[in-house]
Copies of this chain bind each other. A is one copy, B any other.
Amino acid sequence: MARIQTEKDVSRKEVILKASAKLFLEKGYKAASMRDLAVKVGVEAASLYNHIRSKAELLHDICFNVANVFFEHINAVEASGATPISKLETLLRFHIQQMIDNYEEVFVSDREWRYLADPYLSNFQNQRRSYRKRFAAIIQSGIEQGQINKIDASTAVLVILHAISGIDSWHRSTHKVSGEELTENIVTILVEGLKK
């Protein structure tokens, strides 16, 4: 009995978490109220607190779930024996795919993390910095091996990550493009450049 109760709680929390990601995406964390969320979930606002501790916890879970996914991926990429340019392209494609498959959470994690409270805020910022440094290191070794243009690796990381973070607009736009087309376009622009 106790076990079934627990499973129910977990799945109910996941429903709330998913709904909160959608809501935070639509309205922004600060503008989204727990009453808005309650309407989405189909309960009264007070009832949400049987499943979650606070509004802050929802944002926390979204941000750190996303961070974990990207960390696990870059761990695997670093461990692979691929060339720097191939590692770069793998990271690029993974970011785009995450944005397509999971864009509510990825978008919220990217845009709303600043509303995390300490110590989670500092923790998240550190993880973010660490991820970007490792990404930049891959680019840097590509430059040193002559596979990548001589550019500032940290600037390249910022350009890449921000370029990709913008693609959610496409989901809402009327100009529909398939995920594959979208991916190939972005990879071409960033890897090959605009100029022919």
Contact = CB atoms under 8 A, between A and B. Distances in A.
Given A158-B169, A163-B163, A166-B162, A188 B31 contact: no
Contact of A196 (B149, B170, B185): B149
A192 B188 CA distance: 11
Interface stretch (A14-22, A47-55, A64-72, A174-182): A174-182
Number of copies: 2
B191 A192 contact: no
A180 to B, nearest CB: 12
A119 interface: no
What band does the interface of chain A fall in when counting residues whose beta carbon is under 8 Å from B?
A: 35 or more
* Interface class of chain A by DSSP: helix
Contact of A177 (B155, B156, B167, B191): B155
Interface of A: 28, 30-31, 85, 88, 111, 114-115, 139, 146-149, 151-152, 154-156, 158-167, 169-170, 175, 177, 181-182, 185-186, 188-196
25 contacts: A28-B30, A28-B114, A28-B115, A31-B115, A146-B196, A147-B196, A148-B194, A148-B196, A149-B188, A149-B193, A151-B188, A151-B194, A154-B175, A155-B189, A156-B185, A156-B194, A161-B166, A162-B165, A162-B167, A163-B166, A165-B166, A191-B194, A191-B195, A192-B193, A193-B195
**Sorted from nearest, which 4 A-B pairs have the closest CB atoms?**
A193-B193, A162-B166, A30-B30, A163-B163
